[in-house]
Amino acid sequence: MAQITGKTGNYGYRVYYRDSNGKRHSINKKGFKRKSDAVAAAAEIENKKYNYGISDLETATFGDYFEQWSNTYKIGRFSTSTDEKYKYATKLIKEKFGNTPLKKVTKIQYQQFLDNYGSTHTKDSTSRINGYIRASLQDALDEKIITRDFTRNAVLSGGANKDPDLKFLETEEASQLKKLAYERASVYDISSAIIVFAISTGARFAEIIGMTYDCIDFENRTITINKTYDYKTRSGFGPTKNKQSMRTIPVDAELIKFLKKLQLQQRSLFLKQGFKNKHNFVFINNRYNIPSDNAANKVLINYERKLKTKNKITMHGLSYTCINFDC
């Protein structure tokens, strides 16, 4: 039975329950003006305990709940980059809300959190964070840990071009960059080859690194993007961002000619060295390495300095810079 505590103007209740391991816990709340209000609230908790059970997360902080939800349903199920996004969201929540229980987060507090984040990030980024949190609350509602969705009707905002990854090069700058990269691209400078491919196709870095020669139709001049490669942990191939990301795109004759040349370079060199490109990687260098995004970004930055481009972008930004009209 629930314990009713306090006195007139400040009644409270305490309800005891045991978790899945048999350990005893309690839920308590104070501040009821009338004893009958405290009794009614306690009865609601008791009813939940007997009819649905009380989750171990009943008293969890917002940050702890989101972290456990992410670890259960998201982390390790997709790509490393996706894992990092959920971990980053957890960090943001814990920094903003601290020890605030999930149940006590208000719509105003949450809107202020989104506004603060949006002041230094793009609207797309703000929308993604809100989407992660909203999805976690749907499960909290299903498990009756909370009774309201504080993300409902949240207003999303974002600063224009605050994220350097979302900038892009002007067409003329992109053409100059592509020309420079072509001049250096080879099996000995795979990062330049990656830059050429990114500008020509609009592919994401993980998609480029995951390219294999069987995805290139030299005769019909098309590129099929159907997988990615985990370049951070080198753990192997993975799926594209979503089903819509799987695509076949036409490319120009210049790129096809270059890719044929690159393949011949690799075959000739690897044959002499006794190395077999068993995964049929396109972007593998003379040392049998797949470049990291950091390595490619360093080469890209050097090119941008040389060209004195208006915007300074990363490899991610090249997917927005594609100058192939079919990207």
Across the 327 residues of the chain, what is the mean pLDDT of every consecutive 10-residue run?
A: 74 67 66 76 65 61 92 82 84 91 92 88 84 93 84 81 54 86 96 94 92 96 93 85 82 94 97 95 96 92 89 76 48
Give the pLDDT confidence score for residue 325 in this predicted structure: 38
Give the pLDDT confidence score for residue 129 in this predicted structure: 92
Give the pLDDT confidence score for residue 108 in this predicted structure: 95
Residue 10 forms beta bridges with which residues?
7
Q: How far apart are CA 73 and CA 255, in angstroms?
A: 41
In this structure, are residues 57 and 30 in contact, taking their beta carbons and an 8 Å threshold? Answer: no
Give the pLDDT confidence score for residue 162 in this predicted structure: 46
Give the pLDDT confidence score for residue 314 in this predicted structure: 82
Q: Which residues contact 203 (CB under 8 A, 6 or more apart)?
A: 197, 211, 223, 225, 319
Give the pLDDT confidence score for residue 190 in this predicted structure: 97
Give the pLDDT confidence score for residue 202 in this predicted structure: 84
In this structure, are residues 193 and 262 in contact, taking their beta carbons and an 8 Å threshold? Answer: yes
Give the pLDDT confidence score for residue 97 in this predicted structure: 92
Give the pLDDT confidence score for residue 187 in this predicted structure: 97
Residue among 307, 300, 291, 324 at smallest CA distance from 164: 300
pTM value surpassing 0.85: no
How far lies 94's CA from each of 30, 80, 101, 273, in Å?
25, 21, 11, 52
